[in-house]
Structure 1
Amino acid sequence: MFGLFIGGLIGYLFGRLPGLLIGAAAGAFLTRYIKYRLWQKISNVQTGFLESVFAVMGALCKADGVVTRDEIQVAERLFQQFRLTDESRDKAKAAFNRGKADDFDLDAELQHFLRISGRQPALLQMFLQVQVSAVAADGVVHPAEHEMLLRIARGLGLPESQVDQLEAMLRGSQGGQAGSAQRSTASQLEDAYKVLGVSSSDSDDHIKKVYRKLMSENHPDKLAGRGLPDSMREMAEQKTREISNAYDVIKTARQKA
């Protein structure tokens, strides 16, 4: 509508009524074209996101020298969790197998994802989050897998601390309330600071500012508009819950201090 109005106005200024009609038509066409290109761009990012995620996951699962049955089951559970269509599932499986190949170029794949994602920090962090989740799903993180997680973070231009941050987030989410009860208050608080990427010496105002920034950057709707596949919305929602829970843990601890 805005494009039609602007096009019509410009056309009228130059050609009165005929110009108005021509300008309005041109404006409407331009609006539709921009919307189509935007949809196409988001669609390309979504497709590229899933294929790169599972290709890198295949390489990550093979980091310790062999892909175990448990690791394959982890990938299959993610297929279900992301509610992939049959077509998307086939593409994800093919990408996973591509990542397992001896000649797979991890660095080139990460550079490819950087290009299609526009280097948007929230998408890059979500990409890394999936990899950490896949490795930690079986409860065992092999040293070679941890090293590759650090390599992936570096390849995405993310600080290595992001790996610790996401691992802390997973510790907070695994096991629910029962799991939290088994962990010491000090351990929960330490992980909460890691989740937000802040220090215990930071002021309340600074921590609140960081918390609000993280919640805004990781809002599922905002991520979807940047190209995060709809199938991964649940994981994005889980991340915002963990960020909120971490902030609550820090607030509670500071109020008691």
Structure 2
Amino acid sequence: MKGDAVWGKILGALFGLALLKLPGLLLGILIGHWFDRAFRLQFEQNGGFSALFRDNTDEQGLFRYTTFATMGHIAKATGVVTSSHIQQATVFMDQLGLDSSQQREAQAAFRDGKAVNFPLRQQLQQFYHTYRRRKDVLQLFLEIQLSIANVNGNMTTAQYGLLQQVAGYLNFSAAQLDMLLQAYQAQSRFSSRSNQRHSTGQASLADAYQLLGVSQDVSDTALKKAYRKLMAQHHPDKLMAQGVPAEMLDVAKKRTQDIQAAYELLRQKRSGKA
């Protein structure tokens, strides 16, 4: 692909030469180089040429199975799978709108994950190999796993240690996992308080900042940049194009709704309208 990303330089050179002669030629080549580089990075992030020929059906099946099997394994890390864990997994399945056949498959994967000899490392290595060029998909997967580990707001040391392993297999650092965990917990609080705003007042500003992953003294420009980055990472159409099953997109949609609500609250507060 690197050798093919030259059209920006060619077109830039031609337009530059036509408009400004030799200086335009040099400027056009430089601008074209920037364009080619940005295009190549985006192309590779989306899976490169293999993305044009991959079997999305197999990928989506891998995403579903790995999601629910890993959820079962994380739930089992408490030593015993409680009714809360099963209820959380069931609620998650209901939220996804799975049909009866898909629910049976999800339940079977959850049971597989609970097994003592479940090959978590091998399963996640296969998952990572498939999605390794699609970082936003890997992040969505990890965010989903945080939900089962935070049932009723409780996470055991064993579950946290297992989440660190999962994150490591997907090439996320411990610091990145902690940031995602803090953002998830802030989102849960923010969403809960937003739904009760009529009786409890404004949702927490601190949670809104943490949900967006910024400090409270961040500039307006940096705040908007963080907001746009998160919205792009969780855009349902983008994630579907990268191989996320359609039913899993509700997770991304809910995330974008909370991100947008948090940003609007902070924007209005900063402008004095709230």
Same fold (TM over 0.5): yes
Give the stretch that moved more between structures: 83-92 or 120-129: 83-92
Shift of 1:41: 2.6
Determine the structure 1 residue equivalent to 2:183: 165
Shift of 1:240: 0.4
Alpha-carbon distance in 2 for matches of 1:180, 1:55: 39
1:152 equivalent to 2:166? Answer: yes
Determine the structure 1 residue equivalent to 2:97: 83
Once the two structures are superposed, residues 113-148 of structure 1 have per-residue CA deviations (whole angstroms, 9 ceiling, x without a partner) of: 111223412211211221122233444333332333
Once the two structures are superposed, residues 214-241 of structure 1 have per-residue CA deviations (whole angstroms, 9 ceiling, x without a partner) of: 2122111111111111112222111101
Determine the structure 1 residue equivalent to 2:231: 215
1:150 and 1:163 in contact (8 A); partners too: no
Alpha-carbon distance in 1 for matches of 2:90, 2:195: 27
Alpha-carbon distance in 2 for matches of 1:174, 1:42: 35
TM-score, normalisation: structure 2? 0.71
What's the C-alpha RMSD, in Å, of the aligned pairs?
A: 2.7
Alpha-carbon distance in 1 for matches of 2:233, 2:121: 26
- Relative to structure 1, the CA distance from residue 193 to residue 180 in structure 2 (aligned partners, 3 Å threshold; closer, same or farther) is farther
Shift of 1:97: 1.3
2:193 and 2:200 in contact (8 A); partners too: no
1:133 and 1:170 in contact (8 A); partners too: no
Higher-RCO chain (CA-CA 8 Å, sequence separation at least 6): 1
Letter paired with 1:70:
S
- Relative to structure 1, the CA distance from residue 81 to residue 226 in structure 2 (aligned partners, 3 Å threshold; closer, same or farther) is same
Residue of 136, 142, 148 corresponding to 1:134: 148
Shift of 1:246: 1.7
Determine the structure 2 residue equivalent to 1:94: 108
Alpha-carbon distance in 2 for matches of 1:154, 1:236: 22
1:193 equivalent to 2:209? Answer: yes
Shift of 1:179: 6.4
Determine the structure 2 residue equivalent to 1:252: 268
1:123 equivalent to 2:137? Answer: yes
Alpha-carbon distance in 2 for matches of 1:172, 1:181: 14
Alpha-carbon distance in 2 for matches of 1:153, 1:201: 29
Query: Which blocks of at least 5 consecutive residues in structure 1 are unaligned?
Result: 1-36
- Relative to structure 1, the CA distance from residue 224 to residue 172 in structure 2 (aligned partners, 3 Å threshold; closer, same or farther) is same
Residue of 227, 235, 241 corresponding to 2:243: 227
Give the stretch that moved more between structures: 232-241 or 101-110: 101-110
Letter paired with 1:209:
K
Query: Which blocks of at least 5 consecutive residues in structure 2 are unaligned?
Result: 1-50
Shift of 1:149: 2.8
TM-score, normalisation: structure 1? 0.75
Alpha-carbon distance in 1 for matches of 2:207, 2:166: 22
Alpha-carbon distance in 2 for matches of 1:70, 1:43: 31
Corresponding pairs, count:
221
Alpha-carbon distance in 2 for matches of 1:155, 1:198: 26
Alpha-carbon distance in 2 for matches of 1:176, 1:166: 15
Determine the structure 2 residue equivalent to 1:68: 82
Residue of 179, 192, 205 corresponding to 1:174: 192
Deviating above 6 A after TM superposition, structure 1's stretches of 4 or more consecutive aligned residues are none
Alpha-carbon distance in 2 for matches of 1:237, 1:194: 19
